[in-house]
Amino acid sequence: MIKVLFVCLGNICRSPMAEAIFRDIVKKEGLANDIQVDSAGTGDWHIGHPPHKGTQTILTKYNVSFEGMKARLVVPADLEDFDYIIAMDSENLGNLHKMAGTAKIGQIKRLLDFVEDSKVTDVPDPYYTGNFDETYELVSNGCKHLLDVIKKENLVGKE
Query: What are the phi and psi torsion angles at 109 (to 5°)?
Result: -145, 165
Active site annotation includes 125:
yes
Query: What are the phi and psi torsion angles at 129 (to 5°)?
Result: -85, -25
Active site annotation includes 24:
no
Tell me which of 13, 14, 23, 113 is the catalytic residue.
14
Query: What are the phi and psi torsion angles at 3 (to 5°)?
Result: -115, 130
Question: How many angstroms separate the CA atoms of 146 and 29, rounded?
Answer: 13
Tell me which of 78, 89, 113, 125 is the catalytic residue.
125
Active site annotation includes 23:
no
Name the nearest CA neighbour of 8 among 100, 102, 135, 133.
135
Question: How many angstroms separate the CA atoms of 50 and 17, rounded?
Answer: 11
Q: What angle do CA 137, 86, 112 make, to 5 degrees?
A: 40
Looking at the annotation, which residues are catalytic?
8, 14, 125
